Structure 1
């Protein structure tokens, strides 16, 4: 048996990040990857479809925690994963991203002295009103190894006094996942399934609390989308959390009745990336989608005050917008000739290889 490596995932973006690493670890004899699904997000569209699309097996361990307030959810995951570690501790725990599962698993592992590595470390929005920012800062403070996606992340950690020996710049694991499924999404022709032609529509994804939790702000978001749809048809795969907020605010019918807006169910990864790759533009508050659109040279309008991924603005096609500026930004994005920019360094589909090499270097005696 090789070194036992726990890959902890809880939300849909986590699955894309663990998949390339799982396949890279499973390809050799030095490692035994164990998938731990916390159940932070769990319905078929939000997890099972993604496991199939990414070629992942059923999770080895399913904690089945479910949704709930952030503090409750974090505590439940921490306790449940601690029990897993006490039953059979791995040699290394890998946590990814910045969701509640990331923080909870990190705390459980570190408190029991299990080596813990944070994949996608060092990202900072400098907006403490974002729950994800709190998670990122805390995880990076206590995790043993910090794998960063870009030089700005290294700089943030250095500014926070993190010793350089804890940091390895490995690149962007999301691009590994994208490249792995690219042949499939390039032939999936998802736009045709929704009755649209490539380049003639926009894709919308919105789920962050700052956009959907406050009814007044959500109303402004809906108004902005209705205005944007006067310029370009919008396909909106509605996140379950967002749908519940729209219903509670009495805004779901407004969107359903708006000309040019099509609300659709959440897609699997292949179908969704097929839609994104052929879109005229993307409107989002997602972190990962800012990266994927940069890799695909698709104009991205990010409905947020700031981003922990500034490299997507500096080197990519991403732009920050507000509800007030969104309709005009949509027109500008459609008028611009699509720019095919150089991808940021180490966004090359080989990040998982570099992580495996770093694991061997750091934990050679266990492997």
Structure 2
């Protein structure tokens, strides 16, 4: 069996770290990984690949451009790769990014069987580009690998045959388990001169949060409030910096003495920051899952989530971007009355193994 895995962004990299290791155990599996280059910060990508020992076999060098340009460029280059270098019997795509959509369309046009890792997730928010990518990808998929019960339920509602849905768990958690020692050994706490439980970790990057002046004003006020009791660690997105400067708010933000702004961090450092934080403020998808596994309170500043198990079973709560409501949950965290959470089924570090078991049983 010849398998081609298509990845393009840092969240994708995190979800495929065990595939080559497991493929090497089977003489009848020839597995290759192609990196589209969608996340065009090569230095950051190289750090992730070095930490994971993950070397893509092919690189499409797509890089910057509009979503339409990226999808079209990936399709053209991926088709050329498949027709000249490596003809897979199965293509695996991951998550919900532009590379996922482009590879799914390419597989469909070339008649290649498609497996979707992290299938069936739905936010039901069509203002999110990722939601369109998820829906279209699943319409083209043949084998659906789901991470949580909602994925299975959504796919059944959309008419997918139950026999094609494989509840395998979360490959992102596989990476957390695999590299637990490396994460623990990261020197990031001493590097930032912080101690466990004395800081809040924040990641905010979605347009609804940081692409408008109203949201940025709320952000500055929120940090001023939290900074009275905690240090705030904020790996900041370049777009957020630019937006703050355009709104004339950047200097006010950085004047907060308890705010520590960092460059984007490597995987081991970031996971250690999650593990020892008092709580997390985010609008990210993956961090909702990582914090649930590590049992760290997570306040997600969104109206919806495509990962509802993190709320129903885990430590995540959807919170309106309003200071009073956020403070209410912070008081729960401080008093010990905030929910403790449970780790969802199959989030045990063996999801990739279950995917291989499924593939080996395919006719």
The TM-score with structure 2 as length reference comes to 0.94
Structure 2 segments unaligned to the other structure (5+ residues): none
> 1:160-199 maps to which residues of 2 (within 5 A)?
160-199=158-197
3-state DSSP of counterpart to 2:61: coil
Deviation at 1:259, TM superposition (A): 2.8
Corresponding residue for residue 82 of structure 2? 85
Corresponding residue for residue 233 of structure 1? 231
Corresponding residue for residue 73 of structure 1? 70
Residues 78-105 of structure 1: CA deviation (Å, up to 9, x unaligned): 2221221222321211100001111011
3-state DSSP of counterpart to 2:32: strand
Corresponding residue for residue 281 of structure 2? 283
Query: What is the aligned length?
Result: 360
Residues 159-184 of structure 1: CA deviation (Å, up to 9, x unaligned): 11111122111111111010011111
Deviation at 1:73, TM superposition (A): 1.8
Deviation at 1:340, TM superposition (A): 4.8
State whether residues 291 and 298 of structure 2, in contact with CA within 8 Å, keep that contact through their aligned partners in structure 1.
yes
Deviation at 1:119, TM superposition (A): 0.1
3-state DSSP of counterpart to 1:35: strand
Tell me: CA distance 1:89–1:212, structure 2 relative to 1, closer, same or farther (3 Å): farther
Corresponding residue for residue 3 of structure 2? 5
Deviation at 1:231, TM superposition (A): 2.9
Corresponding residue for residue 62 of structure 1? 59
State whether residues 203 and 236 of structure 1, in contact with CA within 8 Å, keep that contact through their aligned partners in structure 2.
yes
The TM-score with structure 1 as length reference comes to 0.93
State whether residues 292 and 342 of structure 2, in contact with CA within 8 Å, keep that contact through their aligned partners in structure 1.
no
Structure 1 segments unaligned to the other structure (5+ residues): none
> 1:1-367 maps to which residues of 2 (within 5 A)?
3-44=1-42, 46-57=44-55, 59-87=56-84, 88-324=86-322, 325-336=325-336, 340-363=340-363
CA distance in 1, matches of 2:242, 2:61: 21
Tell me: CA distance 1:305–1:35, structure 2 relative to 1, closer, same or farther (3 Å): same
State whether residues 206 and 284 of structure 1, in contact with CA within 8 Å, keep that contact through their aligned partners in structure 2.
yes
CA RMSD of aligned residues (A): 1.8
Tell me: CA distance 1:34–1:249, structure 2 relative to 1, closer, same or farther (3 Å): farther
Deviation at 1:141, TM superposition (A): 0.8
CA distance in 1, matches of 2:235, 2:170: 25
State whether residues 292 and 315 of structure 2, in contact with CA within 8 Å, keep that contact through their aligned partners in structure 1.
yes
* Moved >4 Å (runs of 4+): 337-340
CA distance in 2, matches of 1:220, 1:334: 22
State whether residues 97 and 120 of structure 1, in contact with CA within 8 Å, keep that contact through their aligned partners in structure 2.
yes
3-state DSSP of counterpart to 1:76: helix
Tell me: CA distance 1:44–1:235, structure 2 relative to 1, closer, same or farther (3 Å): farther
Deviation at 1:339, TM superposition (A): 5.7
Tell me: CA distance 1:189–1:337, structure 2 relative to 1, closer, same or farther (3 Å): farther
Deviation at 1:129, TM superposition (A): 0.7
CA distance in 1, matches of 2:246, 2:91: 39
State whether residues 297 and 338 of structure 1, in contact with CA within 8 Å, keep that contact through their aligned partners in structure 2.
no
Deviation at 1:338, TM superposition (A): 7.2
Tell me: CA distance 1:261–1:305, structure 2 relative to 1, closer, same or farther (3 Å): same
CA distance in 2, matches of 1:33, 1:246: 44
